[in-house]
Amino acid sequence: MKPAPADPRTIEDAAALLQRGQLCAFATETVYGLGADATNSDAVLKIYETKGRPRFNPLISHCADMEMAGRFGDFSPLARSLADAFWPGPLTLVVPVKPGAGLSDLVTAGLDTVGLRVPAHPMAREMIAALGRPVAAPSANPSGKLSPTTADHVRTAFAGAVPVLDGGPCQRGLESTILAVTDEAVTQLRAGALAREEIEAFLGRPIALATPNAAITAPGMLKSHYAPNAPLRLEVAAPEPSEAYLAFGPGTAHAGPLLNLSETGDLREAARNLFSHLARLDASGAKSIAVAPIPQAGLGEAINDRLERAAAPRG
């Protein structure tokens, strides 16, 4: 075994690791990403190896700003207006890739589109700006496991084998919303930390949702994703005493392990707590985790999507 690499102490150290073709995990406002130089195929391969991820999944390329994103993706006026409205922030735009711009085709998984995002965490943007190129990063967890929202989650998940630029706990706690954007059409490929209602309010019209058999889907939309080890039971108002309970809203009592996503019923707070609470209840050793009903409005759409995947039968 190679010795575990030391965590970078500064943003410049993290950029230097990426520059040398090494991986570095880093904080974004959504979840921690497992980053590699998106123009270096050897580096990008290490992401797939480290995560144990199926090769065909394309990766999001994180950019320091719109100028960098525009060097790698072809932005229609519609895509540009969405970027202007919501970047930096938890929105990934899937747009045509600019051929010859230098992105590794392992990042696009051979597609002619690329997922681009400018994260809202200042340390992430400074690290990417210091590298001067996009950073490809999936969530920094082994494939099929919970997404990490603290540096310690990342260290535990990879047994210290991945250096982490610690940027504190993630503010949003849920992955970015993914939209495929052409000249006219916007399709939501994945519900995420930016609520669909907010995007629709900006556009002034409803957006289409990708259906499971649509031509474009986000391969990360596999069932049985984001799974804790213990089985999950959803929409449970009265958990069994032997279960751990993930509650939502005021006035919850439970004899077994109990964590509340938000005592005040705030969906934003619930999103931020989702993965870390699931990880803690999973670690409690309870044989199953019961989850309270979560309203489907606003961020509830993305929270329920993650919960359904986590509860799906394991393949």
Which stretches of the chain bind Mg ion, using CB under 5 A? 139
Quick one: tokens of 82? 């969405």
Instruction: Name the binder of 124 from Mg ion, ligand TXA, none, CB < 5-8 A by kind.
Output: none
Note the Cα 2 to chain centre separation in Å. Answer: 28
Instruction: Name the binder of 57 from Mg ion, ligand TXA, none, CB < 5-8 A by kind.
Output: ligand TXA
Instruction: Name the binder of 144 from Mg ion, ligand TXA, none, CB < 5-8 A by kind.
Output: none
* Secondary structure class of 73 (helix, strand, coil): strand
Question: What is the closest distance, in whole angstroms, from the C-beta atom of residue 139 to Mg ion in the complex?
Answer: 3
Quick one: tokens of 129? 């700006």
Note the Cα 231 to chain centre separation in Å. Answer: 22
Count Cβ atoms within 10 A of the Cβ of residue 182 and give its class: 0-12 exposed, 13-18 middle, 19 or more buried.
middle
Complex with Mg ion: residue 144 or 239, whichever CB lies closer: 144
Is residue 194 within 8 A of residue 177, CB to CB? The reply is yes
Report the largest interatomic distance among the alpha carbons of the chain, rounded to a whole angstrom. Answer: 60
Q: Which single residue brings its beta carbon nearest to Mg ion?
A: 139
Complex with Mg ion: residue 139 or 187, whichever CB lies closer: 139
Q: Which single residue brings its beta carbon nearest to ligand TXA?
A: 220
Question: What is the closest distance, in whole angstroms, from the C-beta atom of residue 154 to ligand TXA in the complex?
Answer: 11
Question: What is the closest distance, in whole angstroms, from the C-beta atom of residue 207 to ligand TXA in the complex?
Answer: 15
Question: What is the closest distance, in whole angstroms, from the C-beta atom of residue 286 to ligand TXA in the complex?
Answer: 27
Complex with Mg ion: residue 139 or 260, whichever CB lies closer: 139
Complex with Mg ion: residue 70 or 138, whichever CB lies closer: 138
DSSP state of 139: B
Instruction: Name the binder of 143 from ligand TXA, Mg ion, none, CB < 5-8 A by kind.
Output: none
Residues that bind ligand TXA (CB under 6 A): 28, 30-31, 33, 57-60, 92, 94, 108, 111, 113-115, 117, 137-139, 175-176, 178, 189-190, 218-220
Note the Cα 77 to chain centre separation in Å. Answer: 26
Complex with ligand TXA: residue 116 or 236, whichever CB lies closer: 116
Distances (CA, A) of 131 to 14, 36, 126, 196: 9, 10, 9, 32
How far is 81 from 78, CA to CA, in rounded Å? Answer: 5
Question: What is the closest distance, in whole angstroms, from the C-beta atom of residue 4 to ligand TXA in the complex?
Answer: 22
Question: What is the closest distance, in whole angstroms, from the C-beta atom of residue 172 to ligand TXA in the complex?
Answer: 8
How far is 258 from 141, CA to CA, in rounded Å? Answer: 24
DSSP state of 132: T
Complex with Mg ion: residue 232 or 236, whichever CB lies closer: 232
Question: What is the closest distance, in whole angstroms, from the C-beta atom of residue 95 to ligand TXA in the complex?
Answer: 8
CA dihedral 126, 128, 129, 133 (to 10 degrees): 180
Instruction: Name the binder of 187 from Mg ion, ligand TXA, none, CB < 5-8 A by kind.
Output: none
Helices (H), 150-231: 151-157, 196-203
